[in-house]
Amino acid sequence: MTDSTQSFQFFNRGPSPAVRLVFFVVLSLLLLFIDARYRYLESTRSALSVLVSPIQRLATLPGMLWQQAGDFFTTQRSLVDDNKSLHQRHEYDAAQLSQLQALQHENQQLRNLLVLPQRDEFTAQSAEIVYAERDVFKRRVLIDKGANANVQVGQVVMDDTGIVGQITRVYPWLAEVTLITEKDHVVPVQVLRNGLRTIVFGAGDTSQLSLRYMPISSDIQNGDLLVTSGIDGIYPPGIPVAKVVKIERDAAYPFARVTCLPVAGVDRHRHLLILSGLPKPPERPAEESAAQNLKTKQKK
Amino acid sequence: MPYLASANPEIQRPVSTSLIVLSVLLALFLNGLPWEGIWLMLRPDFVAVVMLYWCTHKPLRVGIGLSWAVGILADVADASLFGQHALAYTLLAFGGVALHHRLKMFDLRQQTTQVFGILALTYAVYALVHWQVNGYVVWPYFLGCLTSTLLWAPLSIMFQSVRRMRVDRE
């Protein structure tokens, strides 16, 4: 098809570029507003993702081929070494696991005696990172399990050592994981050493985390391990999140600057675990009724 | 069309729809490669450069509406806010369409400086939206603007040769 009709379209061009510009700019701004404020467009997004995902899948191929080529040329020697170290690791872990089981049993009995609710078990399914988000602004990865594997928004994602992130968006065959290092991503944690409760924030531009609003006098040390506190009902309790690496206490500021590094290989591993089946915490008691009670009491 | 002859005969060379579609798909593919770290910052926005090429060379075929639609696809691919790429590419396309008369008169080096302006605007709009919504800007992001500009000349030459090949075959 040629463009020989170009000159004849002179009188039939439709609206001028300026009109189109204004129309599409307004349309974009409207979409931006709706998406940023109300998140109404998630279904449209997953419908359109069916169009785009073949290209995305294709784009992961070169990396996968590269990896497979690397796997192919792995030497016998390194495999034997790996096997040996894994065996050792397994024996060590098995010993620890049997101890842990004894402790778990004991804990269960103690909880029974004290009439405390039992700790809930959670199940996990494994997933593989398909690709990292190609956006400088974000720290997110996409994994190969989506709505087809019953993945839901809000589920927690971890690797073998600790928390990696949280699922923030689910596509038909993919799910988006926001890493804990994403700017302003929040995880409620506890210092393992003394049980101090706090909240850890992602720093965004580096792969670090920070504790904000820690009073200068608070008992926190270099090397302290932070584990999830489980108070929010989203993150299961007791999973390692980060290690404190630097504390700056400046008397001029009311809060100490605490820098932590994530325990999990947040941007290293390929295989992740999605935790599911966390129980819903009981509903928060309504604050209004409490306030009303107070008022009625005061009236009396 | 002798009355339309200009300094740059490239503009008049016909182009098939399949070439346009193929190039946009290829650009989406290149954008989707697993870029990481510093390479992600240095990654040119292939889609933007390809759209700009078609907007300046075939403004009647590829215009603002199509660029907007491609922007929406880019938004889905990058999981950015709906309309973020679309808004940026709309302005890009308007810049391209407005510039296409002038571009006929320029050689590649002069074109590159003009293209830099449009791409800088596109990048700035994208970053501005992000700043408005999230409250911060990652400055190395603008490195991509420079590499995208550098991509203009090789891309133009490549498309020229591809289109010339097709014409010769016909």
Highest mean pLDDT among A35-39, A289-293, B120-124: B120-124
Mean of the pLDDT values across residues A103-118? 84
- Counting residues of chain A whose pLDDT is more than 90, the rounded percentage is 12
Mean residue pLDDT across chain B: 84
Phi and psi dihedrals of A213, rounded to 5?
A: 55, 35
- Name residue B132's amino acid: Q
Set of chain B residues whose Cβ sits within 8 Å of the Cβ of A183: 134, 136
Query: pLDDT tens digits, residue range A187-243?
Result: 999 998 888 889 999 887 667 888 888 888 888 888 899 998 888 778 888 888 999
CB contact under 8 A, A45 and B58: no
CB contact under 8 A, B97 and A17: yes
Give the minimum alpha-carbon distance from B63 to chain A in angstroms, rounded to a whole number.
8
Domain hosting B155: range is: 14-169
- The whole-number pLDDT of residue B166 equals 73
Is the residue at B98 inside a domain?
Answer: yes
Instruction: Choose among B32, B60, B91: nearest Cβ to A6.
Output: B60
Confirm if B90 and A28 have CB atoms less than 8 A apart: yes
CB contact under 8 A, B33 and A31: no
Is the residue at B46 inside a domain?
Answer: yes
Distances (CA, A) of B74 to A109, B68, B83, B141, B144: 55, 10, 9, 17, 16
Mean of the pLDDT values across residues A248-275? 82
Give the minimum alpha-carbon distance from A51 to chain B in angstroms, rounded to a whole number.
8
What the block records as the tokens of B66 is 């199509």
Predicted confidence (pLDDT) at residue B31 exceeds the cutoff of 50: yes
Is the residue at B84 inside a domain?
Answer: yes
Is the residue at B5 inside a domain?
Answer: no
- The whole-number pLDDT of residue A18 equals 86
pLDDT band at B6 (very low <50, low <70, confident <90, very high): very low
Residues 6+ apart with CB under 8 A from B33: A59, A62, A63, A134
- Looking at residue A150, the DSSP 8-state letter turns out to be T
CB contact under 8 A, A55 and B29: yes
Confirm if A141 and A132 have CB atoms less than 8 A apart: yes
pLDDT band at A281 (very low <50, low <70, confident <90, very high): low
CB contact under 8 A, B82 and A35: yes
Count structural domains, chain B: 1
Query: pLDDT tens digits, residue range B121-146?
Result: 999 999 998 888 877 787 888 888 99
Confirm if A140 and A177 have CB atoms less than 8 A apart: yes
Is the residue at B7 inside a domain?
Answer: no
pTM exceeds 0.80? no
More confident position, B165 or B49: B49
- The whole-number pLDDT of residue A3 equals 46
Predicted confidence (pLDDT) at residue B99 exceeds the cutoff of 90: no
Is the residue at B2 inside a domain?
Answer: no
- The whole-number pLDDT of residue A88 equals 94
Burial of A78 from C-beta contacts in 10 A (0-12 / 13-18 / 19+):
exposed
